[in-house]
């Protein structure tokens, strides 16, 4: 034993005698985690969250969340002697006069954009592979909560500097709050402490941004990861992988090394972007004054869909009982987002109702094998992208359903291609002339592993509609059962996968 090993042993022993950690660590560090590149998306979200905490803490040392009026005397000459809030002046100070300040601001902002992108792509991975199914529905709902909080946290963050762009964003939020029927005006008075913009909104959202939401994030992410740990991670299908086992590598040393290295890659990429790519150059926008707005005002990307929906809404207002209801803000600003997020949170339950499948699932789906879900996902994505690029009122109504139909057809075609592959093998491009003059292309049979992977999945069956029970009494759940039967028939539309007999027959001889 070398001296170093002896010292390490003594330290470990000292800690273990006082905490009893060794047995716990031995069990958990050997935990097996399945391997797939897409499982790193959640990790990117986690690491960018850590970067946000570190860079954000740095910014709090100099940022002054106050609406106090000051006259700018810092080193950015174009704004010299301009009147502004202390919030804006301190953000300029961080950008121009604090060593490393601009770099930290830019790292913080880039980390926020990457965090949100990682969350969304991670969500898509979980959705398209069916990882949200029983027993992981609760983790899915936690995820939707994290996504929602992420959007709010990002919005509050870029609202803090009190520049012209952030003030414009707050103005939109103010209008959305006011559009709530009956209580809107009171709520906005409560939030802003009186009329817009007031003096207290920024100090308030500062505490929410640096204390309240990060605390909630830390708690929710901890529970999220504990659930992944406890329920075990899902795995992609393949030979040897079943609903009852986990095939992969142990946490220590394989994943510890990978995760540690990967954190530094995410940090490196974020720091590189922060160093070379300008983001939110607030000195170009100037301080916020309610009477001004710049023509090209755009929010951060994860707010773009909401901004697009509000811009796209037709000007509808109704007046009733002395109240004005601005549907043009209420609908795109609150009702549609509410429906989208509630629908997403409830999706695992809706799908299991339609398919009638209440079993646990630890093996993931290949998206093509669940055409309806995949098509619904692409349809929702199309809706969001059209809203984000402000693709027009006709576009937002016509293109998402079109995306549904096209995606479903593509999935079914891919299923057909899989069936062909299993039954007839891969095309090799080698043409051969048979003795009687016919040309054929030689097909190469798939390996047993590949055949297994392409055919191991279960195909959903439609629920048959039960109109009467055994005693001849009409089903009291008539309409619900009808709806369920209709959805489940659409859900069960699939290309029949090859049966064992079909494969055997073909293996017996011809192509
Ligand atoms: C702050 C944001 C989030 C963080 C830090 C985070 C982190 C993680 C990590 C590290 C994993 C394990 C690796 C992986 O499967 O990628 C995971 C798994 C999971 N996450 Fe998230 N996540 C976040 C948001 C979300 C969202 C928005 C959803 C969906 C609505 C979600 C749903 C899930 C589910 C269902 C699992 C289990 C996946 C499986 O076992 O295959 N998470 N998360």
Q: Average pLDDT of each block of 10 consecutive residues along the chain (511 residues)?
A: 92 93 88 93 97 98 97 97 98 98 98 98 98 98 98 98 95 95 94 94 98 98 97 94 93 90 97 98 94 86 96 93 92 97 98 94 97 98 96 94 98 97 93 94 93 93 76 73 88 91 72 48
Query: Which residue, by CA, sits nearest to atom 42 of ligand 1?
Result: 143
Is residue 150 within 8 A of residue 302, CB to CB? The reply is yes
283 lines ligand 1 (CB under 6 A): no
pLDDT for residue 500: 81
pLDDT for residue 27: 85
> How many Å lie between the centroid of ligand 1 and the Cα of residue 25?
23
Six-digit token string for 232: 């075990």
| Residue 43 Cα: closest atom of ligand 1 | 10
| Residue 129 Cα: closest atom of ligand 1 | 41
- CA 185 to each of CA 190, 196, 208, 358: distance values in angstroms, whole numbers, following the listed order: 9, 11, 22, 45
pLDDT for residue 509: 57
Is residue 162 within 8 A of residue 287, CB to CB? The reply is yes
133 lines ligand 1 (CB under 6 A): no
The 3-class SS string of 344-396 reads HHHHHHHHHHHHCCCCCCCECCCHHHCHHHHHHHHHHHHHHHHHHCCCCHHHH
Is residue 272 within 8 A of residue 53, CB to CB? The reply is no
The reply to whether the predicted model has a pTM over 0.85 is yes
Pocket test for ligand 1, best of 35, 41, 45, 241 (most atoms within 8 A of CB): 45
Query: Which residue, by CA, sits nearest to atom 21 of ligand 1?
Result: 42
Give CA–CA dist 482/466, Å, rounded: 9
34 lines ligand 1 (CB under 6 A): no
Is residue 169 within 8 A of residue 159, CB to CB? The reply is yes
Query: Whole-angstrom distance between the N-terminal and C-terminal Cα of the chain?
Result: 65
Six-digit token string for 209: 């941004």
Is residue 114 within 8 A of residue 46, CB to CB? The reply is no
Six-digit token string for 99: 């060593």
Is residue 414 within 8 A of residue 422, CB to CB? The reply is no
151 lines ligand 1 (CB under 6 A): no
> How many Å lie between the centroid of ligand 1 and the Cα of residue 221?
9
199 lines ligand 1 (CB under 6 A): no
| Residue 344 Cα: closest atom of ligand 1 | 30
> How many Å lie between the centroid of ligand 1 and the Cα of residue 239?
25
Pocket test for ligand 1, best of 35, 46, 123, 139 (most atoms within 8 A of CB): 139
**Which residue, 98, 78, 82, 99, is CA-closest to 90?**
98
pLDDT for residue 29: 87
348 lines ligand 1 (CB under 6 A): no
pLDDT for residue 506: 74
44 lines ligand 1 (CB under 6 A): no
> How many Å lie between the centroid of ligand 1 and the Cα of residue 216?
16
CB atoms within 10 A of CB 28: 11
pLDDT for residue 304: 96
pLDDT for residue 266: 98
pLDDT for residue 476: 65
| Mode of pairing for the β-strands spanning 69-71 and 83-85 | antiparallel
> How many Å lie between the centroid of ligand 1 and the Cα of residue 228?
8
Buried b vs exposed e over 384-406: b needs ≥16 C-beta within 10 Å? bbbbbebbeeebbeebbeebbee
Coil/strand/helix, residue 312: helix
> How many Å lie between the centroid of ligand 1 and the Cα of residue 100?
33
234 lines ligand 1 (CB under 6 A): yes
Is residue 336 within 8 A of residue 396, CB to CB? The reply is no
136 lines ligand 1 (CB under 6 A): yes
120 lines ligand 1 (CB under 6 A): no
130 lines ligand 1 (CB under 6 A): no
> How many Å lie between the centroid of ligand 1 and the Cα of residue 187?
34
Query: Which residue, by CA, sits nearest to atom 37 of ligand 1?
Result: 228
């Amino acid at each position: 034993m070398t001296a170093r090993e002896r010292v390490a042993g003594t330290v470990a022993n000292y800690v273990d005698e006082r905490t009893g950690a060794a047995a716990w660590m031995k069990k958990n560090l050997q935990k097996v985690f399945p391997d797939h590149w897409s499982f790193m998306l959640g990790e990117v979200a986690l690491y960018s969250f850590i970067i946000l905490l570190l860079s954000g803490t740095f910014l709090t040392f100099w940022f002054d969340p106050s609406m106090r009026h000051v006259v700018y005397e810092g080193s950015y000459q174009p704004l010299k002697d301009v009147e502004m809030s202390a919030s804006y002046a301190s953000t300029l100070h961080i950008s121009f006069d604090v060593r490393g300040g601009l770099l930290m601001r830019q790292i913080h902002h880039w980390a926020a954009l990457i965090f949100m992108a990682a969350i969304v792509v991670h969500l898509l991975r979980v959705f398209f592979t069916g990882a949200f199914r029983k027993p992981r529905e609760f983790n899915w709902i936690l995820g939707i909560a994290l996504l929602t909080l992420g959007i709010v946290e990002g919005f509050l963050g870029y609202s803090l500097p009190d520049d012209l762009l952030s003030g414009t964003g707050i103005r939109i939020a103010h209008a959305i709050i006011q559009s709530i029927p009956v209580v809107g005006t009171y709520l906005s008075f409560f939030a802003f402490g009186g009329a817009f913009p007031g003096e207290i909104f920024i100090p308030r959202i500062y505490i929410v941004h640096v204390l309240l939401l990060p605390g909630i994030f830390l708690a929710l992410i901890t529970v999220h990861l504990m659930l992944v740990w406890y329920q075990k991670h899902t795995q992609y299908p393949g030979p040897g992988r079943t609903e009852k086992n986990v095939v992969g590598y142990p946490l220590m040393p394989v994943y510890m090394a990978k995760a540690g290295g990967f954190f530094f890659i995410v940090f490196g990429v974020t720091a590189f972007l922060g160093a070379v790519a300008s983001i939110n150059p607030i000195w170009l926008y100037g301080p916020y004054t309610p009477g001004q707005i710049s023509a090209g005002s755009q929010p951060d990307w994860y707010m773009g869909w909401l901004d697009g929906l509000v811009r796209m809404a037709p000007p509808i207002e109704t007046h009733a009982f002395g109240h004005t209801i601005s549907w043009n803000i209420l609908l795109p600003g609150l009702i549609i987002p509410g429906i989208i997020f509630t629908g997403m949170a409830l999706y695992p339950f809706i799908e299991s109702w339609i398919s009638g499948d209440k079993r646990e699932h630890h093996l993931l789906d290949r998206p093509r094998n669940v055409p309806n879900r995949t098509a619904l996902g692409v349809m929702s994505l199309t809706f969001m992208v059209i809203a984000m690029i402000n693709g027009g009122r006709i576009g937002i109504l016509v293109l998402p359903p079109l995306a549904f139909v096209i995606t479903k057809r593509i999935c079914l075609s891919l299923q057909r291609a899989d069936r062909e592959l299993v039954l007839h093998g891969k095309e090799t491009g080698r043409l051969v002339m048979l003795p009687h003059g016919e040309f054929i292309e030689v097909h190469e049979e798939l390996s047993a592993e590949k055949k297994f992977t392409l055919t191991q999945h279960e195909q959903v069956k439609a629920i048959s509609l039960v109109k009467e029970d055994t005693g001849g009494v009409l089903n009291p759940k008539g309409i619900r059962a009808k709806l369920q039967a209709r959805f489940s028939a659409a859900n069960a539309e699939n290309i029949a996968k090859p049966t064992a007999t079909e494969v055997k027959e073909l293996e017996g001889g011809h192509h």
